Amino acid sequence: MPVKITLAQAMGTCFGVQDAIDMALDPIYRGKLTVVGQLVHNPQVTERLLANGVRIVERDQIDSITTEAVMITAHGASDSTKADLQKRGFTVYDATCPLVIRLHKLARFLEREGWFPVIVGKADHVEVKGVVGNLKASAVVYHERDLEQLRGHERLGVVSQTTNRLDKVNTILDAMRKLPWVREVRFIDTVCQPVKERQAAIATLLEADIDLGIVVGGRNSANTAKLREVIADRGIAAFHVERPEEVEPRWFVTRRHVGITAGTSTPQDVIEAVYQRVREIVAQPAAADHA
């Protein structure tokens, strides 16, 4: 029986990431721009940027910047980070995604309205660091074990890192509501629409009864890893690959239906290359059987 391949209806680069890449690759910035932090969590995009004369430094390497202009990535940064760059004399180009700006605004709104701001997300993620940096006091939670830091705060105003799984956010919200000292929890949904569309597309793939999932994206792309997790949580074999050559023929032995999806920072041509590799493998059943 031939192996069926289904591509997710929504996948790959979101508009926020694409706009940031387009800005950085604009020829007018060639050789003049340093991106502070990884513009997107994808190695192929990073290679393209470097080949186009864009320099990339980590946030703790700002002292080493030699270009006139710097760029804030789609993940955003705190106002103090931007002000610091301006104070150092750089022209700052801000590629923060509008949906990350919305997250910043809503977290500040909750703080202004007297709620204790809680961000559901990974404390070490650059987007979360930017949000936290704009608040007077806040907490970042990801697991139930993180909730102890909310002790003493009765009114919690909760937002989410834009790339979270909404079901996971809801689980932690339920746990927050059960904390004995908490009187009220107000949640504003800041998981972004493109991420929700990609999660919905995965649900459709799962309904289509796939028995193997391949998720394409950078090794350090949080949303790619989460997409793989959604498939694996259903007990379905799921692999996260950065490049087509990582797809192994042995994964396809005895499979009937392969679903392919990709994170929000994965370029279309990389998805296409992985798709072609999968097509080649499944077209050679003998190769798959003996790999």
Return the active site residues.
127
Please say which residue, 19 or 84, places its beta carbon nearer to ligand SF4.
19
For residue 43, give the DSSP letter: H
Please say which residue, 16 or 157, places its beta carbon nearer to ligand SF4.
16
Please say which residue, 81 or 96, places its beta carbon nearer to ligand SF4.
96
List C-alpha distances in Å: 240 to 6, 39, 122: 16, 20, 20
Min dist CB 101 to ligand SF4, Å, is 9
The rounded distance, in Å, linking the Cα atoms of 55 and 228 is 31
Question: Helix axis angle, 193-207 relative to 222-232, nearest 10°?
Answer: 30
- Residue-by-residue DSSP string for 104-130: HHHHHHHHHTTPEEEEES-TTSHHHHH
Please say which residue, 126 or 212, places its beta carbon nearer to ligand SF4.
126
Comparing C-alpha atoms, which of 63, 62, 66, 71 is closest to residue 91? 71
List C-alpha distances in Å: 275 to 81, 210, 219: 40, 15, 18
DSSP H helical ranges for 26-97: 43-51, 79-87
Please say which residue, 118 or 131, places its beta carbon nearer to ligand SF4.
131
Strands 139-141 and 155-160: unpaired
Q: Reading across the β-sheet that carries 91-94, which strands appear in turn?
A: 55-57, 33-36, 69-72, 91-94
How many other β-carbons are positioned within 10 Å of the β-carbon of residue 155? 14
Min dist CB 133 to ligand SF4, Å, is 17
- Residue-by-residue DSSP string for 154-187: -EEEEEE-TTS-HHHHHHHHHHHHT-TT--EEEE
Which three-class secondary structure state does DSSP give residue 83? helix
Min dist CB 259 to ligand SF4, Å, is 21
Please say which residue, 39 or 231, places its beta carbon nearer to ligand SF4.
39
Min dist CB 286 to ligand SF4, Å, is 41
Cβ-closest residue to ligand SF4?
16
Min dist CB 265 to ligand SF4, Å, is 8
Amino acid of residue 142: Y
Provide the binding-site residues for ligand SF4, judged by CB under 6 A. 14-17, 74, 97, 99-100, 162-163, 192, 194-195, 264
Min dist CB 239 to ligand SF4, Å, is 22
